[in-house]
Amino acid sequence: MEVIYVQADRCLGCKTCEIECRIAHTDTDTENTLFAAVSQLRPPKRRLFVEQGEKGKTPVICRHCEEAPCIVECISGSIYRDEQGFVRRKKERCIGCWSCIMACPFGVVVRDAEAHIAVKCDHCPDLDTPACVTGCPTKALQLVDVDSLPQERRKELLLKKEV
Amino acid sequence: MQYVIVGGSIAAITALNVIRANRPDAKMQMVADEAVPFYYRALIPFLLDKSRTVDEILFTEQPTDDKRVKFHHDRCVGVDSTQKVIRLESGNPLPYDKLLLAAGSSSVRPDIPGVGSTGVYTLRNMDEALKVRDALEGCGKAVVVGGALAGIKMAESLQRTGVHVTVVEQFPRILPFIADTETAQRMSQKLGQEGMAIHTNDSAAEILATDGKATGVRLVSGKTIPADLVLLMVGVRPNVEFLAGSGVDTDLAVLTDQEMQTSVPDIYAAGDMVQIHDAVTGEDVISGLWGNAVHMGRTAGFNMSGIKAVVPPFLSSFNSTEIAGLPIISAGLIHPQSEQYTVYTEAQGENYRKLIFDKDRLVGMIFLGDITKAGVYINLIRNRIALGERKDALIREVMSVLSTL
């Protein structure tokens, strides 16, 4: 399974990921562009957040948790796990009770007050690579295979020690 | 292995799904006394105003889709734990190897004069909801007795159908278990602007009726409120009567260990008929919360499948909703009674935030209006995280959001 891997030390806080996220989630019949996104009556919400961490800026994004608290607390059958293992939300089932916002310990589910639905990362199911990853200019966000991750981390640590 | 599950809502279904996934050899029988089980109970208010159909509030995946699951539309009336059988109302005994009790709770029907009149309903399940929906045809005025969360949600739904609604709450404020005085006042005001009448510090003394049909409610204060329809939303009690003589220990509700096993081996319990221990207040309570029922059902399901699991720390107060267009999330100890606790509040327009600390531990919170990142802070409450020097930064972080709105 490929997941979004965040390397906070590579993040410059440029927020390109947030913009790409919003563009990708623009509800339009034409091509999703920045122009289309900002032209919406209700511009799309971002689903990841560049925040100030202890050492610097870092993107905060849904972990698609194994035992996802948002799925546990969803009282309407809206939040579910898809075939790929990602935690998604069925729009038509959401009642805007915000139980998922109450549940998420990472604070990455947000309220779309106008549409009266909860909004969260869907891992861009229609794209090969999620928009935030494609857009990140410093590779702070990468799509990696979960199984190969420990190997890469070991390599990284070894290289760091040599410096 | 013969699994029997008494109940048809989320605790039962969660346990069933865990057993299905972990025991390919399992034979599963479910017993529930509702004609249409397996629906999302919290969506009942959307049936009343017809914003959703029955189909639209059913579980998307029905337990009976699995051919290993046999469903009995019946009521469990007794448990014989020495013979390992349960007795059903229809008369048939049902043998079990492992039994899950997840029969939930039922509405309390206050014993007041006139309560048996036509037009008076309790409202907790689908059958009742459909009856009330039919009764709403030609209904002009309704009284909802009980202004806690369920009562207010039903009242809002009735109001959306054009009915004039009056809510009666015996506490000095509505939403007594999820709101403090400030929040409740703000909510009452919003509901009032939408045309809802609210009487607090009062309760129903008598249902007035003509020819056996409800015409209004006389309150303890002496006021009389005319009504074609009366909803009794004064609370629930766990369905534990059928356990008499079973050997399953109960106090406020069924007692279990951390693995959700009752005092009797091979009998487990989950959901609203179970007594839990609140990790923050230290009180023994009946939870009545969806998420806790999921955790209990899951834990019971694993242990019944032979995989050891324990429940996470429980919060008995842990709620999120939107009322009169205003979101509210509250958790933990929201009515601190002692000077041991420090309380911080901040308000900005419609937004209000409150944090309650026990020294450097966050023990309670209320977010009204802006609910961003509420879960982050609730997680600190649930896991009783000692914040140390980070406490001040946390307060700044929570409160400063309001000044930037």
Instruction: Specify whether the CB–CB gap between B88 and B100 falls below 8 A.
Output: no
Kindly write down the DSSP assignment for every residue of B166-202, as one continuous string.
EEE-SSSSSSTTT--HHHHHHHHHHHHHTT-EEE-S-
C-alpha angle B56-A62-A26 in degrees, rounded to nearest 5: 65
Which numeric CATH code is attached to B2-106+237-304?
A: 3.50.50.60
Report the C-alpha gap between A96 and A44 in whole angstroms. Answer: 17
Report the C-alpha gap between B117 and A157 in whole angstroms. Answer: 75
- Determine the distance in angstroms separating the CA of A121 from the nearest CA of chain B, rounded to an integer: 15
How many contacts does A have with B, using Cβ atoms within 8 A? 77
Q: CB contact, 8 Å: A96 with chain B?
A: yes
DSSP state for residue B336 in the 8-state scheme: -
Which numeric CATH code is attached to B120-234?
A: 3.50.50.60
Beta strand B284-286 with B275-277 is antiparallel
Q: Which of residues 306-325 of B touch A (CB under 8 A)?
A: 318-322
Task: Per-residue pLDDT tens, chain B, 405 aa: give them.
Answer: 999 999 999 999 999 999 999 999 999 999 999 877 799 999 999 999 999 999 999 998 889 889 999 999 999 999 999 999 999 999 989 999 999 999 999 999 999 999 999 999 999 999 999 999 999 999 999 999 999 999 999 999 999 999 999 999 999 999 999 999 999 999 999 999 999 999 999 999 999 999 999 999 999 999 999 999 999 999 999 999 999 999 999 999 999 999 999 999 999 999 999 999 999 999 999 989 999 999 999 999 999 999 999 999 999 999 999 999 999 999 999 999 899 999 999 999 999 999 999 999 999 999 999 999 999 999 999 999 999 999 999 999 999 988 877
Phi, psi of A59 (to 5 degrees): -75, 135
Residue for token digits 């309220």?
A: A111
Kindly write down the DSSP assignment for every residue of A140-151, as one continuous string.
SEEEEEGGGHHH
Closest-approach residue (CA) in chain B for A102? B375
- pLDDT bin (cut points 50, 70, 90) of residue A27 is confident
Beta strand B326-332 with A2-6 is unpaired
A contacts of B46 (beta carbons < 8 Å): 95
Helix (H) or strand (E) holding B362: strand B361-368
Instruction: Specify whether the CB–CB gap between B143 and B277 falls below 8 A.
Output: no
Report the C-alpha gap between B184 and B179 in whole angstroms. Answer: 6
| CA neighbor of B377 nearest in space, from A86, A20, A106 | A106
CATH-assigned architecture of domain A1-61+125-163: 2-Layer Sandwich (3.30)
Strand ranges, E, within A99-161: 110-112, 117-119, 141-145
Q: Do domains B2-106+237-304 and B325-403 have the same CATH topology?
A: no
- A64-120 topology per CATH: Alpha-Beta Plaits (3.30.70)
Q: CB contact, 8 Å: A119 with chain B?
A: no
Beta strand B105-107 with B236-238 is antiparallel
Interface touch B375/A105, C-beta < 8 Å: yes
In this predicted model, what pLDDT tens digit does every residue of A60-105 receive, in sequence order?
Answer: 999 999 999 999 999 999 999 999 999 999 999 999 999 999 999 9
- Domain residue spans in chain A? 1-61+125-163, 64-120
Strand ranges, E, within chain A: 2-6, 49-52, 57-60, 79-81, 87-89, 110-112, 117-119, 141-145
Report the C-alpha gap between B319 and B60 in whole angstroms. Answer: 24
Which numeric CATH code is attached to B325-403?
A: 3.30.390.30
In this predicted model, what pLDDT tens digit does every residue of B270-310 receive, in sequence order?
Answer: 999 999 999 999 999 998 999 999 999 999 999 999 999 99
Q: CB contact, 8 Å: B51 with chain A?
A: no
Q: What one-letter code names the amino acid at B269? A: A
- Domain residue spans in chain B? 2-106+237-304, 120-234, 325-403
Q: CB contact, 8 Å: A78 with chain B?
A: no
**Mutant choice from B9, B18, B46, B321 vs A, greatest count of A C-beta within 10 A:** B321
Tokens of A79: 């939040």
Across the interface, of A77, A102, A107, the residue whose CB is closest to B40 is A77
Interface touch B294/A73, C-beta < 8 Å: yes
Does residue A24 register a pLDDT over 60? yes
Instruction: Give residues with Cβ within 8 angstroms of A138, minimum separation 6.
Output: A10, A11, A12, A14
Q: Average pLDDT over chain A, rounded to whole?
A: 92
Q: Which of residues 15-74 of A touch B (CB under 8 A)?
A: 69, 72-73
Write the CA distances from B363 to B196, B219, B378, integer angstroms: 33, 37, 9
Write the CA distances from A145 to A48, A155, B182, B338, integer angstroms: 20, 15, 50, 52
Across the interface, of B60, B321, B372, the residue whose CB is closest to A110 is B372
Instruction: Specify whether the CB–CB gap between B294 and B283 falls below 8 A.
Output: no
Helix/strand/coil for A45: coil
| CA neighbor of A99 nearest in space, from B294, B347, B81, B135 | B294
Across the interface, of A72, A76, A110, the residue whose CB is closest to B294 is A72
- Cβ neighbours of A146 (radius 10 Å): 11
Measured between its terminal Cα atoms, the distance across chain A in Å is: 32
In this predicted model, what pLDDT tens digit does every residue of A43-55 receive, in sequence order?
Answer: 899 999 999 888 8
Helix (H) or strand (E) holding B28: strand B27-32
